[in-house]
Structures are given as C-alpha cells and as structure tokens.
Chain A
Amino acid sequence: MLRALLLRTPLLVVLCGAAGLSMWLPAAHASLTGDHDVAQAFFYSGIIVVIVTGMVMLAMANRRPRGTARSQLSALVGAYLILPLVFALPVTQALPDTTLANAWFEMVSSFTTTGATVYDDAARLAPSIHLWRGLVGWLGGLFVLVAATAILAPLNLGGSEVLAGRTGGQAAGGMTQIARIADPAERLLRYTAVITPLYAGLTLALWLLLMIAGEVNLVALVHAMSTLSTSGIGMGGDLTVMETGIAGEALIFLFLLLALTRRSLAERVQVMGSTGPLHQDAELRLALALIGGATLVLFLRHWIGAIEAEDAQDLNRAFRALWGTLFTVLSFLTTTGFESAEWQAARDWSGLSNPGLILAGLAMFGGGVATTAGGVKLLRVHVLALHGQRELERLLHPSSVGGGGEAARRLRRQGAYFAWLFFMLFALTVAVTTAGLALLGLEFEPALVLTLAALTTTGQLADLAATSPIRYADLGAAAKLVLGAVMVLGRVEILAVLALLAPSSWRR
C-alpha cells in the first residue's frame, strides 16, 4: 500500500514529505532541552509541510506516472532547487532576526553537503538548529548516495560515464528481448531500502564510538552525521569544540576513509563495475598516494621550518603537527572540510603559516565516484592520469598497443574523453563563476576560493584556503545566490544539468 503510493507519487513530492517529517527530530530535541520557541518553530513548520505535501499527494493520486529515467533526473535537480526552501522554513521561524536569503543559503549549503555557514558565531544558533543543519547535511548525503546509484548511474552520469564509456544522459540502448524495464521509481525505492540502513548504521556506530570516547551527546551526533555525509558541518568553525581531541578525530578519520571509494558500501548496491581486491582499487590507491604525498610535503615543510626555529626536537609537537596535517588533508580530499584542532599546532611548531591553497587543490580532486564527496572525483583524475601515461608511451612507440584488458582500454579512450570533458566543464564553471563573483564586487582571490569552495562542496575552504578567512556573512545577497547555485551545480555535477538541458529532452 505504502509502496504503491510511494511509487505513484512524484519523487519531488515524496522528498518534500520526508523533509517535513524530519523537522520533528529537532522539534523533539528542542522541547526536551526546554527551548520551546525553537521547538514550536520546527514542529509547526513540519506540520505545514506535511499537510501541504499530503494535499499535493491526494491531488496527484490518480496521476499515471510517466516514469522515465529523465524525469527522475529533473526531480533530482528540482530537489536541490525546492528542498532548501522547505528546509529554510523552520530556520526563519526559529531565528527571527535572519533573512530568508541567509536561511536559504545555509540550507543549500547543508543539503549539498558543502557546509558553508553564514552564522559563524556558533553561539548565535540554538543547539537544535545545529542539529537541524547536521541533519539536513546528513539527508543530503543520503540523497546523493541513492541518486548516484539509482538515478545517475543508469543514465551514465555521475562517474559511470567514465566506466561505461558512453555518452552521459542516455540510458543503455534497449534490447528487443527485454520486455519490461524496471521503473526508475522502483529502482530508487530499492536502493533507498538498501543504502539507508547501511548509511544510518555507520552514522550510529560513529556516534556511539564518539560518545564512548567521551564526547558530548549532541556534538558527537552532529559530527557523526557530517562525517558520513562529508558535509563537515560542526558546532563551531573547527574540531576544537570536540572534547576528545585526537581520539575523537581518529574515529572521524576512520569513517572519512569511507568516502574515498564507492566500494565502502555493500557490493550489492554497486551498479558500476567494481571488481578485484580492494587494495587494487584505482581510486583508493590514488587517494592514499595523494594523502601520503600531501601530508609528507606539508609536514616536511613545517619540519624544516621547525629546524630553523630550533624546535625540531619536540617530538610531541611534531606528532601533533603530523596528525593535524594528515587529518586535514584527508578531510579536504573527501571534501568534508573538518579542520583538525592540531592543524594550528603545526603553525605554532614551525612558525610557518599553513598553505591553504593545497587544500583547495585536494578538494578539487575530490573523493570517490558515487560517494558523498564532491569535486572532480578520484576516478576521473585516475583515468586522466592513465590516459596521459599512455600518450607518453605513444610518443615513444606511436603504434604501440596498450594492455590491461578491454575495460582498461575503454577507460583510457572513451573514459578519458568523458573525464576530460567533465574536467573542462569544471574548469569553465570555475572561470565563469569567478568572473561572475568578481562582477559582483569581490576581489579575485576571495572570488576564486569561494568558487572552488562552492563547486567542490567544501565550504570550509573559505576559512583556510585564502590568506585571510573569508566570511560568508559578509557577502551580498546576489553573491550568495550565485554561490548557492554553484553548490547545486557542484553537487549534481554539471554533466547531469547539461543532460537535462539538452534539446533532446525537450521533446515529448
């Protein structure tokens, strides 16, 4: 009954309903902590959203769903346009002194797992609102995971165009023997049912582990949620709010590793071919090389600085600097954006400032495809590197044939082509957005850093990548609007948006 109803209702309406229901969690939290104003705001917003959604559902009850994969894609993009407004509703109620634009920006940034916040004064928000931000980020992560497998992969988007070597935005050609193709809604429902318990279970595990390590209840939950969703939303600017220090960070580090490869979730949700042992996984190996390389370079730089400052003997501080570097590198590679509490320790140790731009570079690499991470994605980088290596070989031996099997060859040819296409679109978007922000009156460096932060869904870059931290709150409404749009672009990937806008989809 419920299943049939869910299958018949458009995806967007179902999502709105889920958003409304989720508002009651912070409502419950607020009423338990005695913050009745906030509780009321969330509770009534939830009721309004649920009732309106229910009415829309009733109105559309007799609708026969067309159920093309493309309509799912438009629902996916539509979700990023509409849901942040729904999410912003309780925020505007609970925070009377905020504008709708700010609330909307905050929610776009949370839902796209960017984690950029206009409220840099953490104390200004009630704990329940922090919970709400974390929850929206967590839901955004879940939505991305499900969408990547159920909506984007069948359409050859979101990284699977690289593996399949077929043009994105088009489903595989039908075969005459196949009489019935699974309805996209069914697929979505099935993958949601598979992924949600895993995702929620991992979050619960991290939450419990953090609490066992001695973390405050709410802080542990918010951080667990934003770790799994790689949103990096915290109770404050960095992880200094955590009481558990390095132990807590180590737990988060462990769960951040999940965002490096799509294979961290169960094998049965893998629609994209993934075979071979885990240690041979291209994305994982590339990620480990990047993490190792970046950590080593950053650490050595500090170490040499410390020698000059005659402080190299202090093993404790050296270790803390190393840990801070390692954690922050992984955190930005997965586009989470947590800043280790020890990141500053490195600076104190050597007296050198931290090069934030390297973090922007790492965020551009991004995590694995079909994970919650943003950016160009490791798979595409890997494929481009493979292609480059092969081209070098061809310089020496123009007629040589590359080995590695049929799949590897396809990766190097069509795969590399699509990866390159994506990379170019990415670069173009960076250029256009930077220019746009500059037009709105920003300096070049902030404009570039903010663009990268939005496009790679790593909002915290604004704090670390520029020479001096950039405050989102200081931006004008127009700049916020642009950044919000770019966040959505970065989240659903530009190829998907282009596929939606392609003229072939206008035909009915």
Chain B
Amino acid sequence: MKVIICGAGQVGWQIARQLSGERNDVTVVDYNPDLVRRATDTLDVQGIVGFASYPDVLDRAGARDADLLIAATHSDEVNMVTCQVAHSVFSVPRKIARLRAQNYLDAIYSDLYRRDHLPIDVVISPEKEVAEAALQRLAAPATFDTESFMLGRAQLLGMALDEDCPVLNTPLRQLNDLFPSLRAIVVGVRREGRLFAPDPGDQLFAGDQIYVFSHSEDMNRALEIFGKKSKKQERIVIVGGGNVGLGVARALEARTDRVRAKVIEKNRSVAERAADSLERTIVLNGDGMDMDMLLEAAVDRADAVLAVTDDDKTNLLVAVRAKQAGATMSIALVNDPTLAPLMAPLDIDAYINPRATTVSSILRHIRHGRVRRIYSIGDAEAEVIEAQILSTSPMTGRQIREIEFPEGVLVGAVMKGDKVLKPTGELRLEAGDFVAMFAMSLDVREVERLLQVSIDFF
C-alpha cells in the first residue's frame, strides 16, 4: 500500500515507523528538512521537503497513485486543506486527518467531514485519545496499562504481579476451574523483558507483567484475584496543562463524583487558556519540577499525580518527585517507548504511551477486514485487534478449538449481539460476531488473513 504521511513530527514519525515496518510504501512530507531527514535516516521511508498542502508537493510525493494520505501536521487547517487537495486534485481514496481543536471535533459539526464537504474519511485527535488513556489509567489505578474494547464492555488490563498475588505458581488452566464464573483470561505475559502468549499449562510468577482481558463487570474481581485493590481517587494533580492535561481535567470535571483536580502549567498563556476552559479545577502557573509548586498543589495528599507535559524526562522526574513527596500513585506520559523499562526502578505506577494510542487509532483504519479497534502493546511487540468476523472469513462457523490460530495468538473475548462472552474451545464463531485477539507482531499478518474478506465479498 502506498501511504503519504504529511508532517514528520512525533505523531507522523511514529505512524511512519509503524507503517514502514509493515512493508508499506511510505512517503513523509514536511517543510522542516531536519524532521524529514530524521525520518528518512531512521526509517525505511521516502522523504519530501515541502509544504504539505501545496498540490505540487503532494504530486512529488506521489499522491497520484497513493492509497492513503495521513495529514498529521501541527496545524488543523493545513491538515484540512491537505485532505481537500488530495481529494480534489489527486483523488486519493482514503484520507485521515489529525484535528486537535475541540471546536472542530464537536459532534454536531461532524457533518462537515462528508465527501462533498470537507473530504476527510477519518478524524483522529491524538491528544484526545491520550487523555482518554490517562482517564482509563486513573480508573484502574492498580494496573500499568488499560484499554477498553467491545464498546467499553471489556477491558484489557496490564498488571505487574508481586508476591501478594494469590494465584502465583498455578497453571492457567486451573484458574478456569477455580473461578468458573470469572469472565477474564490472561492473554499475554512479559517475563524478563520478553512478551509471549501463554499456554494453558504456563504458570505465573512474581515479577511477571501480565495482560488480562476481562469483562468490564468483572474487572474489579479480576484485579482482586491477581492481588490488586482498586481505590477511589478524589484528589488528582495534573502536571502539564496542554491539550492532554486539559482534556483530562475537563473529563474529570464532567464526572459526577466529586474529583478535585489541580493543574500545574509552566507557560503562563497556556495556563490561562486552561483556566478559561475549566470551572472548578484550580490551575497553577509554575514549574512542575518545583517542590514548592508541587506542595502548593497538595501533591503529598494526592491520590494520583499525572505528569503529562511534552517532555519525557520532566514527566519521569515529576512522577518520581511526587511519589517521594507522598502521592499515592503517579502516572507519567512517556513518548519514548525505550524508557518504559525505567518505570519499575523509578517506582512510577503507570505510564501512558501516546504513540500506542495514536498508532492504534490509525492502524484501525488501515487493517483489512472490519477492524473496529486495535491496541498496540509494549514497544510494538504485540497488538490486540478487535474485529468483526465476516461471512467469508475462514473462522466463520467454526469452533474456536478448530481454528488454526498461530502460536502467538489468543482470543480474549467474543461479542455476540451485545453480550461479551469468555472464549472457550466449544464456542462457535458466527458471521457478525466481534472477536478480540491478542497477537504477537509476527503473527499479525496471519490474523489479518483470518479476518480478511475474500475477493467475492465485493
């Protein structure tokens, strides 16, 4: 597939990395030669220096035979115009644009993005999705990673097991017998830095990080079984008042339970903007690394500290500092996935990887078949794919035990109608069902083949 990515910033680069890794023909366009060089030096992509919305630049980037255009520059308006040009001049079949401004995203104006108006097939807004990811982390404080699937009826929970976990050294097969009514299944285990899909005979050990796919109603019970307690959070400190921090604070204000949030932002004008759009939340202007500032935000009594500035190191240090000052829990936003192993030694409870959320939302639209949701795990080591089974799929009408899944693939949940079921060997998959699968990166192509429609579908 030929893909043009406009904007080689953080988001553009991450998308390029993911797509080029899947052997797509990727071209990156940016007006900053340094960013283009960074992309071409580190990835297997072509680079074009130029203004993304100019037709001649798009022409040079090969827009005439491109299958997909992703407009991810920092300007909403440039992204819109780029999509319009790609549509009107080059007839690019699929166009994805990143729009950050909430005003463009309001549901009442969604009519705007129709084919005959502003031809954008998919609108993505990374900040919004990162904010959602942060809220999910807050909702499940004992986990280091969460993502919701099946329209919110199922959750993927990432947990680090410690000595207190009551089900250590038990084969996973026995867990089913011990808790027959629990609708949860272990889909992935990371042991000594290596992620794998467990066999029924595998046991869990202290120090393992596991990914559990659970029905939303059984989430708290699942956490309990693996030795985690969930606690309600009332005082939350957010460091960083940019789009992410503001999005989280807004969502917290919209919640009905009384959450007292405070936002610390270094840049005066950004802080003012945040204060303007928030009502109850207190916005503080100052350096989040400053201990006085953290204490002014009462970080020592906070139930959770969320470090979501645009700088990874600041986030890590703020999270450590807050934890040291007495915060119950700290969450850091980390762009660089190679920093992830630092979390445990630094005593940071959870991290948010914007790449994972953004790339997930874009991948969803690139995958074949009816993929509804994709979540990328770890450093692109595995994916959880939620997709609809089409009548032409090789899985249709067969029991799960009969399907030849590759070694690194596990079914996490099946949704029939609006009921989410725990997958058992006897469960028969029908056309129209949704299935959520954990797949190691190497096996993603095989999963795609399983989901793919044959040519007679069209």
Interface residues of A, Cβ cutoff 8 Å to B = 393, 397-406, 409
Whether A401 pairs with B275 at a CB distance below 8 angstroms is: yes
Q: Which of B265, B275, B286 is in CB contact (< 8 Å) with A403?
A: B275
Within the assembled complex, what's the spacing in Å between the Cα atoms of A404 and B268? 15
Contact between chains at A401 and B274 (CB < 8 Å): yes
Chain B residue at minimum C-beta to C-beta distance from A405: B276
Let me know if B407 is at the binding interface, CB within 8 A: no
Task: For B296, give its contact among A397, A401, A403 (CB under 8 Å).
Answer: A397
Please state if A409 and B272 are interface contacts (CB–CB under 8 Å).
yes
Q: Beyond A400-B284, A401-B275: 7 further Cβ-contacts under 8 Å?
A: A393-B282, A397-B282, A397-B284, A399-B296, A402-B275, A403-B283, A405-B276
B318 contacts partner chain A, Cβ-Cβ < 8 Å: no
B289 at the interface (CB under 8 A from A): no
CA distance A235 to B256 in the complex (A): 59
Q: Let me know if B271 is at the binding interface, CB within 8 A.
A: yes
Q: Of A398, A401, A405, A406, which is within 8 A of B283 by CB?
A: A401
A-B contact list, 29 entries, CB within 8 Å: A393-B282, A397-B262, A397-B284, A397-B296, A397-B297, A399-B284, A399-B285, A399-B286, A399-B293, A400-B282, A400-B283, A400-B284, A401-B268, A401-B271, A401-B272, A401-B274, A401-B275, A401-B283, A401-B284, A401-B285, A403-B275, A403-B276, A403-B277, A403-B278, A403-B279, A404-B276, A405-B276, A406-B276, A409-B272
Q: Which residues of B contact A401 (CB under 8 A)?
A: 265, 268, 271-272, 274-275, 283-285
- A-facing mask of B259-299, CB < 8 A → 1, else 0? 00010010010011011111100111110000001001100
Closest B residue to A403 using CB positions: B275
> How far apart are the CA atoms of A374 and B282 in the complex, in Å?
37
Q: How far is the CB of A400 from chain B (nearest CB, A)?
A: 5
Q: Which residue of A lies closest to B263 (CB)?
A: A401
| Cβ contacts under 8 Å, B277 to chain A | 403
| Interface of A, helix, strand, loop or mixed by DSSP | loop
Q: Enumerate B250-264 residues with CB–CB distance to A below 8 Å.
A: 262
A278 to chain B, nearest CB (A): 22
Distance in Å: Cβ of B263 to nearest Cβ of chain A: 9
> Which residues of chain B are near A404, meaning CB under 8 Å?
275-276
Give B293 Cβ to nearest chain A Cβ, in Å: 7
Total contacting residues, chain B, CB less than 8 A: 19
Q: Give the distance in Å from the alpha carbon of A57 to the alpha carbon of B272 in the complex.
A: 56
Select from chain A the residue with minimum beta-carbon distance to B290: A399
A313 to B296, CA, bound (A): 56
A405 to B272 Cα, complex, angstroms: 8
Cα distance, A403 to B276, chains bound together (Å): 4
A313–B272 alpha-carbon span in the complex (Å): 56
CB nearest to B280 among chain A residues? A403
- Using CB atoms, name the residue of chain B closest to A393: B282
Query: Once bound together, how far apart are the Cα atoms of A478 and B96, in whole Å?
Result: 82
Chain B nearest CB, measured from A397 CB (Å): 6
B283: A residues at CB distance < 8 A: 400-401, 403
The smallest C-beta distance from A124 to any residue of chain B, in angstroms, reads 60
Distance A409 CA – B277 CA, assembled complex (angstroms): 13
Contact with A along B90-106 (1 / 0, CB 8 A): 00000000000000000
Give the nearest-CB partner of A398 in chain B: B296
Q: In the assembled complex, which residues on chain B have CB atoms less than 8 Å from the CB atom of A398?
A: 296
Task: Give the CA-CA distance A409 to B269 in the complex, in Å.
Answer: 12
Give complex CA distance A406, B269 in Å. Answer: 10
Chain A residues in 8 Å Cβ range of B297:
397
Given the complex of chains A and B, what is the CA–CA distance between A406 and B293 in angstroms? 24
Q: How far is the CA of A402 from the CA of B271 in the complex (A)?
A: 9
Tell me the smallest distance from the CB of B298 to a CB of chain A, in Å.
Answer: 9
Closest beta carbon of chain A to B270's beta carbon, Å: 10
Q: With the chains together, A419 CA to B129 CA distance in Å? A: 45
- Residues of B near A393 (CB, < 8 A) are 282
Contact indicator per residue, chain B 410-450, by CB within 8 Å of chain A (1) or not (0) = 00000000000000000000000000000000000000000
* Docked CA distance A398–B295 (Å): 11
A409 to B285, CA, bound (A): 15
* In the complex, chain A residues whose CB is within 8 Å of the CB of B279: 403
Query: Among A400, A404, A405, A406, which residue has the most Cβ atoms of chain B within 10 A?
Result: A400
Least CB distance from A63 to B in Å reads 51
B260 to chain A, nearest CB (A): 12
* Smallest CB separation, A414 vs chain B (Å): 15
Bound-complex Cα distance A399 to B285 (A): 5
Q: In the complex, A409→B279 CA distance in Å?
A: 14
Q: Which residues of A contact B275 (CB under 8 A)?
A: 401-404
Interface bits B289-323 vs A (CB < 8 Å: 1, else 0): 00001001100000000000000000000000000
Residues of A within 8 A of B268 (CB): 401
Instruction: Please report the C-alpha to C-alpha distance between residue A403 and residue B278 in the assembled complex, in whole angstroms.
Output: 7
* Chain A residue with Cβ nearest B272: A401
Residues on B with beta carbons closer than 8 Å to the beta carbon of A406? 272, 276
Docked CA distance A400–B268 (Å): 10
